[in-house]
Amino acid sequence: MLSAFSFIGFTLLVGIIAWRSTRGTDERSADGFYLGGRSLGAITIAGSLLLTNLSAEQIVGLNGQSFAEGVLVMAWETLAAIAIVIAAIFLLPKYMRSGITTIPEFIQNRFDQQTKALLSLLFLIAYGIVLLPTILYSGSLAFSTMFDLPTTLGMSETTVLWICVWAVGAIGILYAIFGGLKAVAVSDLINAIGLLIGGLLIPIFGLMVIGDGSFTEGLNTLWESNPDKFDAIGDVDASIPIGTIFTGMMIAQLYYWGTNQSILQRVFGAKSLKEGQKGMLLAAFVKFLIPVIVVLPGIIAWHLFQGDLANADQAYPALVKRVLPGALMGFFAAVLFGAVLSSFNSLLNSSATLFGFDLYKQYFKKSATEHQTVKAGKLFGLLIAIISMIIAPFIANAPDGLFAYIQESLGSLSVPILAVVLVGITTKKVPALGAKITLTLGVLMYLVSQFVLSPYFVDSALAEAAANGITDSKQLGIIKATAYPHFLHVMGILFVINIAIMLIIGKLYPKKDIYVPQITEEIDTTPWKHTVVVGIVIVVLVLSTYLIFR
């Protein structure tokens, strides 16, 4: 009963604070709904960035991977900090000086309207088919496991999953569609604080359980009993071979933190470039510390459950249920619920922005007023939310785990999008034709690679192994892993090819009207003087972790 009261109380508190914070913002205007009236400070931006990124799919998925493989999966978090630093120093000043609302808007200014529309469409596909459904699924799985809802409700796991998905989705719609960015950002900040506190409690209590009440004894026992789980390099058949850190890993990170609309929209709502950079760097520093929340608990769960769980993605919610005192369960559930809502409604808000700002006014109603554009965006957000709620429960059938599914699926979009944005920023003569070919061909090349060539080579290698009488699971894993390049390596290779295609087209068919970046006077674009120094410190901290876990 106490858990239920604390859950409802904290959730209502966040909602009331978010509502009060938005009363002075005109949510019917584009700036008000999409960018929170360009009024966000560094701390709010950092909190919103972290909660947009750090949701149940991150906590559940990465802890599931660390349960299976150990600390090597921290690369997804630690290298993200480097990508954020790069985006804050090199990309954000160019974005904010142009006064854009969306990344596709920048692409229109650099190339043309058709390229912008194509990019917006790719973003919306990624949101509707991959990101939104995985957020709903992972959150629902967490709540179902933590509270043993199938037993409590007397229903099947599948039925409970559907109920949770639609319940979380409906509440998320209320936040994003009717509240706008400022409501999302304010609720994100509150939940970010709660998630950091609650997230740190889980490994603390977990280590105390291992150490019979002693935190330090629990840490020593975990370290000494599971040395293979603290190897950051990993074997050749690991989900993140060390070589991928230098190829597709950084491409995936730069795409997410440097071109992804759902992330950058929080920064575009900054009061000034200085506030935006400070917010991003603060988020980068916290991101460096996040493995304590999204990696360590998975290793603790491996030790406590002796690796005996039917599904690795259940590691985190099962650990929470095992180690967290009942009095805190409601609070943590409310915080995790807020994290799920944060990522879900952030993507919904960005979807509404992309459709209303980049597609509706261009292709559906060119004479639409600002109010009509916002309304159309809200209706589209509602539609894409319903689609994602229908897809979400079926992700339970993903063969390689939740987080791997997300990253591999996004590879088809992240590579060409990042290539187009970077070439658009760094060159002036590459024409729109190059961007259109890259966005189309880049997606097709990745899909052919992963869904045609990869299965063919893997199946052939396994068939040959079977013919040779090889049955050892470790050997088969290595054969499977080496039969075809890892998907992150494929991303690295295709990124180079995409860049080459654009540069060749630029050489053969150079843009006749040379691109001249526009400069806005609506925003203070003076950079923060400590950006580079702070960024270097964060990068050094990240690299030091690989000296510890080697």
Which residue's entry shows tokens 């859950």? 7
Instruction: Give Cβ neighbours of residue 349 (< 8 Å, ≥ 6 apart).
Output: 34, 176, 180, 181, 184, 262, 265, 381
- Cβ atoms of 406 and 130 closer than 8 Å: yes
- Cβ atoms of 188 and 364 closer than 8 Å: no
Q: Which amino acid is located at 171 in the chain?
A: I
Q: Where are the domains of the chain?
A: 2-30+39-414
The rounded distance, in Å, linking the Cα atoms of 371 and 391 is 31
- Cβ atoms of 185 and 336 closer than 8 Å: no
What pLDDT, on a 0 to 100 scale, did the predictor assign at position 311?
A: 79
Burial of 550 by CB count in 10 Å (0-12 exposed, 13-18 middle, 19+ buried)?
Answer: exposed
Q: Which amino acid is located at 534 in the chain?
A: V
What pLDDT, on a 0 to 100 scale, did the predictor assign at position 30?
A: 46
Fold classification of 2-30+39-414 (topology level)? Sodium/glucose cotransporter (1.20.1730)
**Within the chain, how many helices (H) and strands (E) appear?**
26, 0
What pLDDT, on a 0 to 100 scale, did the predictor assign at position 354?
A: 78
CA nearest neighbour of 201 among 299, 321, 324, 315: 324
Task: Please list the rounded mean pLDDT of every run of 10 residues in the chain (550 residues).
Answer: 59 61 49 53 82 75 89 88 94 85 83 89 86 86 81 86 88 64 58 77 94 93 91 77 86 91 79 91 91 93 88 86 81 77 75 80 79 82 89 74 72 91 91 94 93 92 89 83 90 96 95 78 85 95 80
- Cβ atoms of 213 and 64 closer than 8 Å: no
Residue 510 DSSP SS3: coil
Q: Which tokens sit at 410? A: 């996004």
Kindly provide the b/e burial profile for residues 319-352, where b requires at least 16 CB atoms within 10 angstroms of the residue's own CB: bbeebbeeebbbbbbbbbbbbbbbbbbbbbbbbb
What pLDDT, on a 0 to 100 scale, did the predictor assign at position 189?
A: 64
What pLDDT, on a 0 to 100 scale, did the predictor assign at position 103?
A: 82
